[in-house]
Structure 1
Amino acid sequence: MKRSSPANLGAEKGQKQPTMEEDKVRSLFNSKIWDPEFQDTLKNEIAMSKPYNWGTIRDLIDDDLLRKVRKEIETEIHFTNKETDIYKVNQSGDLANLSGLDWNDLSRLPSLCRLREILYSEVYRDVISHVSGAGTLSGSKMDMSINTYTKGCHLLTHDDVIGSRRVSFILYLPEPGKRWKDHYGGGLRLFPSIVANVPHSDHSAKLVPQFNQIAFFKVQPGFSFHDVEEVHVNKHRLSIQGWYHIPQEGEKGYIPGEEAEWVKTNTSTLAQLESNVLQDYEFPKNERNILPYHQIRHFDELLAAQTSEHEATESSVDLSLLSEGELKYLAEFISPHHLTSAGIHKLQSQFVTKSQLQIDDFLNDTKSEVLKKLIKTDELQKECPYESVNVEAPWKTALPPHKWRYLYIDGKSHENFQTEQDILNSLNNEEMPNYNLLSKTLDPVKNNTETELISVATFLESTAFKKFLALVTLLSPLSEQVLIRRFRPGKDFTLATQINKNDLLERVKGFVEAVLEGTLCLTPTDGWESGEVGGYELYMDNQDDDDEANTDIKDAAVYRSDDTGDSVLINKPPSWNSFNLVLRDESVLQFVKYVSWAAKSSRWDITAQWDVKTVDDDSENDAE
């Protein structure tokens, strides 16, 4: 599941191709596109379009040719379902890679080859160059793919900034003669940017695709954000996706060094996210707050004592390490069988062996029943806000949507980012999370569910719980961050990310170069186990692929599908009242898969991260 482009229809650079006469090329397009008045009108429309420069043309290609193309695709090309963090789509196989075919051997895909030839013909490229204002376009560097979106398929927010791409286009081929309706889904949605490289959470324009319609836009680094809406029905939304590139050597418009400078200057937005260039514009902040010194020392002493006891007994946990008051407080939340000496030892053994742990029935029956009733009531009786402008305190919307989107509560004051000034105001407010203070500002009737969730988040931040956590993992917490999250059907997800080091802790003796992650899943419905409606939390090995053949179009927006599945370490579907603990280093990626509109409810959870360290008998020196 590394990121790369879908199956390619592109010809190899410099490959000899037949030259169709210009009159023949023109005859295979709608004659209106050669009309200077039509071109100028379209150019003006594109220049004035929002949220960025884009355009569309209906009935672009000769109808008979396009119907033949669709028939060839249906009969000659095999599609494989591919699902990653950013998309679920049916991609074309080897037959779609026309660069592997002899240009003189058109027996199996003659119409498709003819279509590719006219789309990259000089006369048509000149039209697209003129109306889009993108500059001269390459005819030798071809880059196309065939996809069919069926029910549940989607492609999340990205800007297409990869290599030397200059114009993106999508030629739509749903069933001819029938209108593709809005409620089918599968629309092309365009997102405005709050600032460069930070798209708004909500789209501001949408195209409902029809047969023989093309949509296209100039690739604008940091601004040309778009997605493909999930398809809601059992119909095929077939399309040909392609790109025009910067002219290559020997072509009209070639400028030495232009491509290299473009690639150097316009880093993909995902690469910027991974390098933390945009971290000021990410919300919620990746801030694991350092715990007070006296707490850290207390955990060290606890674990030093537990280690000595463990060496003596090797089969139990000394509950006297927890005070009577702490055990009583823990019992208000945690199921009693997890708080016995044998129960803690069982959890400890499992975690020490695997560096991961799933604790089922984590919350006790009383707390679990109260929360489940409240969350179910919210799902059934309260309208969930789907537009960020309608999100009310204490909830916020995660930004930017080419990294993640979900509702969250972080213990800080309410924010609703609609403008650059909103973000700047937040950056100037260095507020620490305080769930206790936040709960006092809520209406206990209107925000009953939020109040209960906050009580659990406060519990996870308590010293008593962190002592329990230390006994289970034999690791001493150094920092913490706790978030309450809600992933809405048809809307929310997180893309795969690595953990970030906490530089403030790099000199701590015994500091483990890893982060302990805990997710208390509180999703009140079933039907998630198959993965068909998404929402699962997935951990995977992040190994570089040194065999990437087409490095200049290495896609920083789409993960390569790992057909073997060997890279998947953990795949945890949503459930009720399960607490998942994972010790994760920088070699592991994690994401929550996009939640399908077909899911029976939102995915609810409370997630936490702790920087941790190991402890030996010299606990005092470790704490220092």
Structure 2
Amino acid sequence: MKRKAPSNPVILPQKQAILEEDKVKCLFNEKIWNPEFRDGLKQEIAESKPYNWGTIRDLVDDELLRAVRKEIETEIHFTKKETDIYKVNQSGDLANLAGLDWNDLSRLPNLYKLRQILYSEVYRDFIAYVTGSGKLSGQKADMSINTYTKGCHLLTHDDVIGSRRISFILYLPDPDRTWKSHYGGGLRLFDSIIPNVPYSDPCAKLVPQFNQIAFFRVQPGFSFHDVEEVKVDKHRLSIQGWYHIPQKGEDGYIPGEEEAWVRTNTSTLAQLESNVLQDYEFPKFERDILPYHQVKHFEKVLDFKKSDQDPEDQNREVTPVSAISDDNHLSEQELEYLTQYISSEHLSKHGIAKLQNKFLEDSALQIDSFLNEAKSELAKKLIKKEELEKECPYEAKDVQSPWKTAIPPHKWRYLYIDGKSHENFRNEADILANLNREELPNFELLKQTLSDSANGTEKELIDLVEFFKSTIFKKYLALVTSLCPLSEQILIRRFRPGQDFTLATKCQLNELLKNVDGFVDSVLEGTLCLTPFDGWESGEVGGYELYMADNEEEHEEETKTQLDKDVEDAAVYRADDNGDSVLINSPARWNTFNLVLRDESVLEFVKYVSWSAKSSRWDIKMQWDVKLNETDQ
């Protein structure tokens, strides 16, 4: 899908009514012009953690800001927008205030006045002084209006886009009520382990109040922040904007500075897409190569299936024959093993033929009631007990073995079990000391280390993983998909309410297999969703897994400069509200197994799980590199 970008920053006309300096100053709190206050704030910002940021209460004349808020409420229409990284109410065609027709100010005179003073030279110089940012542009205006209602959020990002130098948020919640911490909607700041790799948990939080501004220098690799989900039925209105590098003709303009800034400081989105940070990502995309004898066994199975067809039918499309035939592709012993886990309806001759036909047609399957009743009921009982009786760890330092926290949080955050050792994983900084450590997953050994009393849920989930790793299950998989597995990776995942998600990513092919005969440029993905409570169908609480076409490259103009491309909003990665691009949208359910064959043009993510969800989203995620049987090509 093409990136959903707001209106770009606008170069304002040179000839427009400009308030005199003394009138501008009168519309701000007089304290900000006091040298003692300015110097104190400058020192506070220089010493702030985790990076240079500051806040000012009662910034603007109270009467003016109340009038602005009233204009916004009465004159501006908001539409809920949702992507992989945010859910927020945006102001339709007024999303970028600098894009308004300022010759018609009858509806929004106070909003216009506010923009004037925020981009006035005297106030820009104040902000530049206290932040130490250097000169700021008055021509390049970049402001937007958002209102966060219950469930709205903005996930971790660093605002490094284009020529941005300072980011600010002016808060306008109810002026006659205190916005309390438990309402959510706070601005949270993240420290970095190393440049471009933030910690999972925030280290500072600002609870916003009416007429309070928060601002910070846009610092590549460091200025990570998010907006906490709003948890109550209240509106957290705000005006967000950026100050940019001076433009040609402005005081402080340096030829080539903006181009050099953009060229040097790659946005985190671009870094994630180019995989330059993959060494610092956990879990890693490491699909382990299957033993040679297993692969040859699957090839033989697929050859048998091919030979079952009538010779006259082999040169045209046909309905695949069932795996359960006189040739007994699945032996009685294999069927007996599969029946211990999979519902019998998906193992019958008719059931497998139905799955084969559906996958052949769509390259995807949704198999409901996949596990048999006994396995399903046991797993549901254990997961519900985990949800209802045990406290879920919400900070990385509290996560205990065998669970780990996925990092970095500007790409994903969830709990997972990968079958590998847990050494030093609670201290995220120590993870980097083991970047090149090679270790194969060993779920059987891991299960042996767990106690029955404390880890019943984990042991049962690991038992399911061992089933999916079995040769017999992969043989079943080959029969259903007509694809030969070459590698595998399996993770147990838990997405906690108010905490976890994955952003839209492309699949990565295994370079070690690219020269294998029949290797396809796609990855087969399986997701067994084991979410025990209902309430997910509407998508309002998130937790859905979404696959969508990445059409961005088709829409980009070849003549576009890199600078033009980078002015798109860092907080808007991929939009999922375009029905033409959405391929699969699967809400969290109980006992549903999804199989999807996707190539590098298909993006996938799990939407942030809201605080209002009844439980975590639980699943087992599988990936296989696959090839077509040579006789099928």
Q: TM-score, normalised by structure 2?
A: 0.95
Q: Does 1:339 align with 2:312?
A: no
Name the SS for the 1:321 alignment partner: coil
1:493-531 per-position Cα deviation (integer Å, ceiling 9, x unaligned) = 000000012111111111111000000000000010000
| d(CA) in 1 for partners of 2:622, 2:473 | 12
Assess if the C-alpha contact under 8 Å between 1:396 and 1:416 holds in 2: no
Assess if the C-alpha contact under 8 Å between 1:56 and 1:214 holds in 2: yes
- TM-superposed CA distance for 1:343, in Å, is 1.4
Show the counterpart of 1:546: 556
Show the counterpart of 1:196: 195
Assess if the C-alpha contact under 8 Å between 2:530 and 2:618 holds in 1: yes
- TM-superposed CA distance for 1:95, in Å, is 3.2
Show the counterpart of 1:22: 21
- TM-superposed CA distance for 1:330, in Å, is 1.2
Question: Against the structure 1 CA distance between its residues 558 and 102, is the aligned structure 2 distance closer, same or farther, given a 3 Å change threshold?
Answer: closer
| d(CA) in 1 for partners of 2:337, 2:84 | 39
Name the SS for the 2:94 alignment partner: helix
- TM-superposed CA distance for 1:98, in Å, is 3.9
- The structure 1 residue matched to 2:430, chosen from 399, 422, 443, is 422
Assess if the C-alpha contact under 8 Å between 1:7 and 1:92 holds in 2: no
Show the counterpart of 2:483: 475
Show the counterpart of 1:349: 357
- TM-superposed CA distance for 1:564, in Å, is 4.1
1:253-290 per-position Cα deviation (integer Å, ceiling 9, x unaligned) = 11111111110010011211111100010000111111
Q: Does 1:536 align with 2:544?
A: yes
Q: How many percent of aligned residue pairs carry the same amino acid? A: 71
1:179-232 per-position Cα deviation (integer Å, ceiling 9, x unaligned) = 111111100000111111111000010000000000000001111000000001
Name the SS for the 2:337 alignment partner: helix
Show the counterpart of 1:318: 324
Show the counterpart of 1:559: 573
1:212-227 equivalent positions in 2, closer than 5 A: 212-227=211-226
| d(CA) in 2 for partners of 1:99, 1:218 | 21
Paired residue type of 1:67? R
Show the counterpart of 1:3: 3
| Between 427-436 and 457-466, the greater mean CA deviation after superposition | 427-436
Paired residue type of 1:377? K
Unaligned runs of 5+ in 1: none
- TM-superposed CA distance for 1:293, in Å, is 1.2
Show the counterpart of 1:210: 209
Show the counterpart of 1:438: 446
- TM-superposed CA distance for 1:73, in Å, is 0.7
| d(CA) in 1 for partners of 2:23, 2:484 | 74
Question: Against the structure 1 CA distance between its residues 377 and 434, is the aligned structure 2 distance closer, same or farther, given a 3 Å change threshold?
Answer: same
1:58-69 equivalent positions in 2, closer than 5 A: 58-69=57-68
| d(CA) in 2 for partners of 1:87, 1:96 | 15
Question: Against the structure 1 CA distance between its residues 101 and 231, is the aligned structure 2 distance closer, same or farther, given a 3 Å change threshold?
Answer: closer
Show the counterpart of 2:593: 579
1:576-597 per-position Cα deviation (integer Å, ceiling 9, x unaligned) = 1010000000111000000000
Question: Against the structure 1 CA distance between its residues 40 and 184, is the aligned structure 2 distance closer, same or farther, given a 3 Å change threshold?
Answer: same
1:347-382 per-position Cα deviation (integer Å, ceiling 9, x unaligned) = 111111110001111111111111000000000000
Assess if the C-alpha contact under 8 Å between 2:398 and 2:426 holds in 1: no
- The structure 2 residue matched to 1:513, chosen from 517, 521, 524, is 521
Show the counterpart of 2:273: 274
Show the counterpart of 1:612: 626
Show the counterpart of 2:106: 107
| Between 609-618 and 282-291, the greater mean CA deviation after superposition | 609-618
| d(CA) in 1 for partners of 2:623, 2:320 | 28
Paired residue type of 1:508? V
Assess if the C-alpha contact under 8 Å between 1:489 and 1:595 holds in 2: yes
1:179-328 equivalent positions in 2, closer than 5 A: 179-311=178-310, 314-318=320-324, 320-328=328-336
- TM-superposed CA distance for 1:178, in Å, is 1.0
Question: Against the structure 1 CA distance between its residues 357 and 287, is the aligned structure 2 distance closer, same or farther, given a 3 Å change threshold?
Answer: same
Assess if the C-alpha contact under 8 Å between 1:489 and 1:601 holds in 2: yes
| d(CA) in 2 for partners of 1:98, 1:443 | 59
- TM-superposed CA distance for 1:316, in Å, is 2.5
| d(CA) in 1 for partners of 2:386, 2:139 | 56
Name the SS for the 2:618 alignment partner: strand
| Alignment size in residue pairs | 618
Assess if the C-alpha contact under 8 Å between 1:161 and 1:269 holds in 2: yes
- TM-superposed CA distance for 1:557, in Å, is 3.7
Question: Against the structure 1 CA distance between its residues 421 and 535, is the aligned structure 2 distance closer, same or farther, given a 3 Å change threshold?
Answer: closer
| Between 419-428 and 232-241, the greater mean CA deviation after superposition | 419-428
Name the SS for the 2:630 alignment partner: coil
Name the SS for the 2:370 alignment partner: coil
| Between 103-112 and 224-233, the greater mean CA deviation after superposition | 103-112
1:100-120 per-position Cα deviation (integer Å, ceiling 9, x unaligned) = 444343111111111111101
Q: TM-score, normalised by structure 1?
A: 0.96
Question: Against the structure 1 CA distance between its residues 94 and 477, is the aligned structure 2 distance closer, same or farther, given a 3 Å change threshold?
Answer: same
- The structure 2 residue matched to 1:600, chosen from 614, 619, 627, is 614
Show the counterpart of 1:35: 34
Show the counterpart of 1:591: 605
Paired residue type of 2:124? R
Aligned CA-pair RMSD: 1.8
| d(CA) in 2 for partners of 1:31, 1:21 | 16
| d(CA) in 1 for partners of 2:7, 2:256 | 28
Name the SS for the 1:95 alignment partner: coil
| d(CA) in 2 for partners of 1:288, 1:13 | 52
Question: Against the structure 1 CA distance between its residues 524 and 563, is the aligned structure 2 distance closer, same or farther, given a 3 Å change threshold?
Answer: closer
Assess if the C-alpha contact under 8 Å between 2:305 and 2:321 holds in 1: no
